[in-house]
Chain A
Amino acid sequence: MSKIEIKNVYKIFGNNPSEVLPMVKEGANKEEVLEKTGHTVGLDNVSLSIEEGETFVCMGLSGSGKSTLIRHLNRLIDPTDGDIIVDGTNIMELDEHQLIDFRKHELSMVFQRFGLFPHKTVIENIGYGLEIQGKTLEERNKTAMTQIEAVGLQGFEDQYPSQLSGGMQQRVGLARALATNPEILLMDEAFSALDPLIRSDMQQQLIELQSKLKKTIVFITHDLDESLRLGDHIGILNGGRLVQAGTPEQIIMNPADDYVKAFVKDVNRAKVLKAKTVMVQADKFDTSSIKLAETYKVNEGVYIEEFLPKVLENNSTIVVVDGKGDTKGYITSKELAISLSKTGYNETTNTTQ
């Protein structure tokens, strides 16, 4: 059972969404619907499942419906049609009271422009979720202080958000989301408003936190590098439709259509692809040509960029091993050339002699 399941969700913005729904279900695209009825299609038959403890990154250009999608998970926006199942509960069936309870305990959210309360201090902001839950001030401050330490904001607890820099504000946002100890973390373009260095810093911090906490994270971004760095799975949205969902390797190696291809075109493949993905299986490789002195062992989970210099320097062959040290496959300069070329893995293998 997946942690979050989204089943055939449609969202249409406008005066009379239910009348437009059949048209969208019959396959009319966003532009047609807008022209004929004046309604905007937010989501068009989106189905996906997100496993417990993984980071699912939802990617797309602005207007692709990714922010709409994430707001369906806590019903800040109600879908026009479809079901959303979190932890086995269909949240579409919750009444107002249950919904508030669900939001209090099950999930919390981090916002693009931080969404901090300007009239509350950092510690009050972080304790807000607990305040809503009805915890005492003492409990709130205790939990908030541990969260402040976790994100490294000691000494700033009595400042107001506007006195902090963007990166610090977003750390407050993150700490506030974590303070209620939710199982699911929704992050809506959480790092998009930050400058590149701070963004990279925050990504690292999130990865570290995630390795400890093992939350289910749904992360929205328009930045492919960010999604490849953070995501265990990636879903790509275009015009409200989910065009492709899969692991970062799958997206890079087998883009589903031109839209995804355009997305992955500029990515630094050496940073994203792992040895496991590009190697030739041990049984399919002709081992006779290898000179033992020129081999170099790497773990199967290592990214290409880490052993790329070795191959280029000595033209050595990489032996890919798994955790136990068993040989799983081999990589030579030929495999690297294929996997790093921009035109795509499949095409290259077909056209190279």
Chain B
Amino acid sequence: MNKIANFNIKVASILIFIGLIVATHNLIIPKNIFYLFLKLIFLIPSVALIVNIANIIPKHTLLFFSKVFGAIVLITLIIISYLSSKRKPDNFSDLFDKWDSFLGIPLPKFLINWPKWLDTPFMHWINKGWKSFIADYGLIFDAIGYGLLRGYTELKGIIVQTPWPIVIIGVIAITYFTSGRKVGTTVFVGFCTFFIGFLNPRFWDKAIETTTMVVIGIAICIIIGIPIGIAMARSEKVRNAILPILDTMQVIPAFCYLIPGIILFGLGAIPAIISIFIYACPPLIRLTDLGIRLVDEEVIEAARSFGASKKQMLLGVQLPLALPNIMQGINQCTMMALAMVVIASMIGTRGLGDEVLLGLQQLNVGAALEAGLAIVLLAIVLDRMTQAYGDKIQERTQPGKKKQ
């Protein structure tokens, strides 16, 4: 009984929300940030309610309806593609005018070569959506871009103005403490840092620019990625929803979002940072999720049996024990960020990647290789710093287990 009453309340509130969305969409409120905000506010609970309703309806009914829905969508798409195609036959019976044979079996021609009219107008839809998206919400991206640019220039300015010996000493000091006072690693990292400038004096400032972009990109990855990873570890549904998004982020070619990035954020460091996020965040999310799920079930049970709340469990048990994995994720994130920064030089991002590009354009193999070497050195420095920290944590949480 209670369930049914709940159900009715949910249906009613969904209808109200849908009504409000329609109202805001068409009539009353102009499309701006406030509009988006309002839409989000209405959208989030609506989605939650739909999910709840999906939970109430018996599973087989739901499956049946989703199949029917899928079939309807497919048929509609085919009809739309047929109708909207410019190269369709004049009338339906024309389809069967031309015949060909396959292994001696006569078949209508359109079954052998992919017909021109079987073509969903996705490109047009995306372009249309993209245009109105920029017109309506461009302001938001301007704001984000401005904020990031401000942070980037400030941070870069500080490091560039600092005398280079102090920067090297700073790097050495950080490595010394994160690596748990390992002298070998520290000396090695110090030398690598020195050699970046030693290769070519121009590289020093460029390396700082690159590092700043990487650091800001990683910071965004951590701020957004770790909570998402935690949410995925906690709920099977969230994981199933997010995994395909992560796959897309990792597989989609970088240029597909580099170019739109220019349109949204302009040339320079900001689209590079956004690209870093898209490219480097998935491994961090995956490793956070994995790390939390790999925590020994009995340890979790022990914490639960003592009455730990979800928050106490997360902060006191799950995160500390997942930390080696999370640090590995941050390390991966760093490496991928560096790779992306180099690719981003193609859209005018300055930094070490820019030097490589310049060398290649002038067919100056030496210059390109020199810059490439500097990138490798920078990668070693960043890798050692994050890796060493992860190892140190691992030693603390799992003492006795030596790294192979």
Q: Distance in Å from the Cβ of A183 to the closest Cβ of chain B?
A: 14
Given contacts A117-B299, A160-B400, 15 further A-B contacts (CB under 8 A): A71-B301, A76-B301, A103-B306, A105-B307, A111-B302, A115-B301, A115-B302, A116-B299, A116-B302, A118-B398, A119-B320, A119-B396, A119-B397, A160-B399, A162-B401
Q: Determine if A74 and B399 form an interchain contact, defined as CB atoms under 8 angstroms apart.
A: no
Instruction: Report the nearest A residue to B399, measured CB to CB.
Output: A160
What are the 5 closest A-B residue pairs judged by CB atoms, nearest first? Answer: A115-B302, A104-B307, A103-B307, A119-B397, A109-B305
- Chain A residues lying within 8 Å of B301, measured Cβ to Cβ, are 71, 76, 109, 111, 115
Measured CA separation A109–B301 after assembly (Å): 9
Q: Determine if B399 and A163 form an interchain contact, defined as CB atoms under 8 angstroms apart.
A: yes
In the complex, A186 has a CB within 8 A of chain B: yes
Instruction: Report the nearest B residue to A71, measured CB to CB.
Output: B301
Beta-carbon contacts of B299-326 to A below 8 Å, as 1s and 0s? 1011111111100100011001100000
Q: A119-B397, A132-B312, A162-B401 are in contact. Are A100 and B307 (CB under 8 A)?
A: yes
Q: Determine if B302 and A117 form an interchain contact, defined as CB atoms under 8 angstroms apart.
A: yes
Q: A112-B298, A132-B312 are in contact. Are A74 and B305 (CB under 8 A)?
A: yes
Measured CA separation A109–B306 after assembly (Å): 8
Measured CA separation A102–B376 after assembly (Å): 57
- Chain B residues lying within 8 Å of A129, measured Cβ to Cβ, are 306-307
Measured CA separation A79–B299 after assembly (Å): 22
In the complex, A170 has a CB within 8 A of chain B: no
Question: Which among B302, B307, B312, B317 is the interface contact of A102 at CB below 8 angstroms?
Answer: B307
Q: Determine if A118 and B397 form an interchain contact, defined as CB atoms under 8 angstroms apart.
A: yes
Measured CA separation A102–B305 after assembly (Å): 10
Q: How large is the interface on A (under 10, 10 to 19, 20 to 34, 35 or more residues)?
A: 20 to 34
Measured CA separation A277–B253 after assembly (Å): 81
Measured CA separation A155–B321 after assembly (Å): 25
Q: Distance in Å from the Cβ of B319 to the closest Cβ of chain A?
A: 10
Measured CA separation A115–B308 after assembly (Å): 14
Beta-carbon contacts of A306-350 to B below 8 Å, as 1s and 0s? 000000000000000000000000000000000000000000000
Q: A111-B301, A116-B302, A118-B321 are in contact. Are A132 and B400 (CB under 8 A)?
A: no
Q: Distance in Å from the Cβ of A106 to the closest Cβ of chain B?
A: 9
- Chain A residues lying within 8 Å of B305, measured Cβ to Cβ, are 74, 76, 103, 107-109, 186
Q: A118-B397, A160-B399, A163-B400 are in contact. Are A132 and B306 (CB under 8 A)?
A: yes
Beta-carbon contacts of B362-404 to A below 8 Å, as 1s and 0s? 0000000000000000000000000000000000111111000
Q: What are some 19 contacts across the A-B interface (CB < 8 A)?
A: A76-B305, A100-B308, A104-B307, A108-B305, A109-B305, A113-B298, A115-B296, A115-B301, A115-B302, A116-B302, A117-B299, A117-B302, A117-B303, A119-B398, A160-B399, A162-B401, A163-B399, A163-B400, A180-B306
- Chain B residues lying within 8 Å of A108, measured Cβ to Cβ, are 305-306
- Interface residue count for B (Cβ, 8 Å)? 23
Q: Determine if B306 and A104 form an interchain contact, defined as CB atoms under 8 angstroms apart.
A: yes
Q: Determine if B307 and A101 form an interchain contact, defined as CB atoms under 8 angstroms apart.
A: yes
Please provide the chain A residues from 172 to 203 with a CB less than 8 Å away from any CB of chain B in the complex: 180, 186
- Chain B residues lying within 8 Å of A104, measured Cβ to Cβ, are 306-307
Q: Distance in Å from the Cβ of A80 to the closest Cβ of chain B?
A: 18
In the complex, A56 has a CB within 8 A of chain B: no
Please provide the chain A residues from 68 to 125 with a CB less than 8 Å away from any CB of chain B in the complex: 71, 74, 76, 100-105, 107-109, 111-119
In the complex, A219 has a CB within 8 A of chain B: no
- Chain B residues lying within 8 Å of A119, measured Cβ to Cβ, are 320-321, 396-398
- Chain A residues lying within 8 Å of B307, measured Cβ to Cβ, are 100-105, 129, 132-133
- Chain B residues lying within 8 Å of A128, measured Cβ to Cβ, are 303, 306
Q: Determine if B309 and A100 form an interchain contact, defined as CB atoms under 8 angstroms apart.
A: yes
Q: Determine if A115 and B401 form an interchain contact, defined as CB atoms under 8 angstroms apart.
A: no
Measured CA separation A348–B341 after assembly (Å): 87
- Chain B residues lying within 8 Å of A115, measured Cβ to Cβ, are 296, 298-299, 301-302
Measured CA separation A226–B123 after assembly (Å): 72
Instruction: Report the nearest B residue to A111, measured CB to CB.
Output: B298
Measured CA separation A129–B25 after assembly (Å): 53
Measured CA separation A71–B400 after assembly (Å): 31
Q: Distance in Å from the Cβ of A174 to the closest Cβ of chain B?
A: 13
Please provide the chain B residues from 23 to 51 with a CB less than 8 Å away from any CB of chain A in the complex: none
Instruction: Report the nearest A residue to B300, measured CB to CB.
Output: A115
Q: Determine if A162 and B398 form an interchain contact, defined as CB atoms under 8 angstroms apart.
A: yes
- Chain A residues lying within 8 Å of B397, measured Cβ to Cβ, are 118-119
Measured CA separation A103–B304 after assembly (Å): 8
Among B299, B302, B303, B321, which residue has the most Cβ atoms of chain A within 10 A? Answer: B302
Instruction: Report the nearest A residue to B397, measured CB to CB.
Output: A119
Q: Distance in Å from the Cβ of A200 to the closest Cβ of chain B?
A: 24
Among B303, B304, B396, B401, which residue has the most Cβ atoms of chain A within 10 A? Answer: B304
Measured CA separation A95–B268 after assembly (Å): 55
Question: Which among A113, A114, A162 is the interface contact of B400 at CB below 8 angstroms?
Answer: A162
Measured CA separation A116–B302 after assembly (Å): 8
Q: Determine if A109 and B302 form an interchain contact, defined as CB atoms under 8 angstroms apart.
A: yes
- Chain A residues lying within 8 Å of B401, measured Cβ to Cβ, are 162
Question: Which among A111, A113, A162 is the interface contact of B399 at CB below 8 angstroms?
Answer: A162
Measured CA separation A178–B296 after assembly (Å): 22
Measured CA separation A111–B303 after assembly (Å): 11
- Chain B residues lying within 8 Å of A160, measured Cβ to Cβ, are 399-400
Q: Distance in Å from the Cβ of B288 to the closest Cβ of chain A?
A: 17
Measured CA separation A160–B317 after assembly (Å): 15
Q: Determine if B317 and A117 form an interchain contact, defined as CB atoms under 8 angstroms apart.
A: yes
- Chain B residues lying within 8 Å of A132, measured Cβ to Cβ, are 306-308, 312
- Chain A residues lying within 8 Å of B312, measured Cβ to Cβ, are 132
Measured CA separation A108–B301 after assembly (Å): 11
Measured CA separation A353–B226 after assembly (Å): 79
- Chain B residues lying within 8 Å of A74, measured Cβ to Cβ, are 305
Instruction: Report the nearest A residue to B58, measured CB to CB.
Output: A16
Measured CA separation A132–B310 after assembly (Å): 11
Q: Distance in Å from the Cβ of A126 to the closest Cβ of chain B?
A: 11
Q: Distance in Å from the Cβ of A70 to the closest Cβ of chain B?
A: 10
